[in-house]
Copies of this chain bind each other. A is one copy, B any other.
Amino acid sequence: MSVYQIIEKLGITLPPVATPAAPYVPFVRTGNLVFLSGHISRKDGKPHTGQLGAGMAVDEAKAAARSVAIDLLGTLHAATGGNLDQVHRIVNLMVLVNSAPAFTEHHLVANGASELLGEVFGDAGKHARAAFGVAQIPFGCCVEITLVAELTPGT
């Protein structure tokens, strides 16, 4: 099954790449690696805001992390010229969770993104990861994620 068949089966619609207003870009390829910019949580096209440990439930933030991972897939789709099957491996994720000082379950939030990548890419979706709590995220978003992927050489 191609990655796109799996995505369809999961009922996922890939979003278009968000074009940053600022002087940076959604991704940069160097050699076989592609670095994706920090993608922030969105809901209905607007920032999905909230802080863990200050009113937001883990389940809602975990769903937000899954949604950010779908946005990252949309960017990877663009980075591969529309051929996600060129993704050889998801290498690394940095998952930032908007945290009040007492919240300590960032790993559970991050699993929302990690599990989606496993569902879509199988073993190739198993990545190294760091998850932790930050003081704030642009626009007050609850989650921000960066991703590094390896593309198949020669593609």
The reply to whether A135 and B133 contact each other, CB–CB distance below 8 Å, is yes
Once the chains are docked, how many angstroms separate the CA of A129 from the CA of B89?
A: 21
| Contacts A24-B93, A129-B37, A148-B35 given; does A101 touch B104 at CB 8 Å | no
| Contacts A35-B91, A114-B24 given; does A138 touch B102 at CB 8 Å | no
Once the chains are docked, how many angstroms separate the CA of A105 from the CA of B3?
A: 36
User: CB-defined interface of A14-35 with B at 8 Å, one 1/0 digit per residue?
Assistant: 0000001011111110111101
A137 to chain B, nearest CB (A): 5
Return the contact of A89 from the options B28, B36, B126, B139 (Cβ within 8 A).
B28
* A107, A110, A125: most-surrounded residue (chain B CB, <10 A): A107
* A32, A53, A92: most-surrounded residue (chain B CB, <10 A): A92
The reply to whether A114 and B23 contact each other, CB–CB distance below 8 Å, is yes
Protomer copies: 3
The reply to whether B136 and A26 contact each other, CB–CB distance below 8 Å, is no
Once the chains are docked, how many angstroms separate the CA of A107 from the CA of B128?
A: 24
* Docked complex: A115-139 residues within 8 A CB-CB of B: 115, 117-118, 125-139
A77 to chain B, nearest CB (A): 16
**Quick one: closest B residue to A94, CB to CB?**
B130
Can you add 18 more A-B contacts, CB < 8 Å, to A20-B129, A31-B31, A105-B138?
A22-B107, A24-B126, A25-B126, A28-B89, A28-B92, A28-B128, A30-B150, A94-B146, A96-B130, A99-B135, A99-B136, A101-B136, A106-B136, A106-B137, A128-B146, A132-B137, A133-B135, A133-B137
